Amino acid sequence: MPSIDFLRVRETVTIAQVLELLGFVPVERSGDQLRGPCPLHGASSPRSRSFSVSLGRNAFRCFGCGRSGNQLDLWAAAQAVTVHEAALDLCSRFNVDPPRLAGGERKGRR
């Protein structure tokens, strides 16, 4: 069975779209950087800035819980599913056919 081309999913679905699905509301914005409460560990203050996102790099890091990664990692953590399941779910939500790799390659995971 062909594997998911995670790189192509990440090129199609942005971290901004994932943040919108999560209902993330930034407290601060500077260029393509967003800061706000972490949607993963449930920051206690709505004014928290522990969660940092780079829209240009499609990357996040929380300085509270220590989680970091790309949009697939974020959705996987938020939904408590594997990255594979997260990729399929995001493709479904955005009406994108899941891009597949031929021959079972594992290209594009990170």
What is the tens place of the pLDDT at every residue in 4-29? 999 999 999 999 999 999 999 999 99
| Residue 110 counted as domain residue | no
Q: What is this structure's pTM?
A: 0.86
Q: Which domain holds residue 71?
A: 3-96
CATH code, domain carrying 86: 3.90.580.10
Q: Are 28 and 35 in contact (CB under 8 A)?
A: yes
Q: How many domains does the chain have?
A: 1
* pLDDT tens digits for range 38-74: 999 977 777 888 999 999 999 999 999 999 999 999 9
Looking at residue 77, its amino acid is: A
Does residue 28 sit in helix, strand or coil? Answer: strand
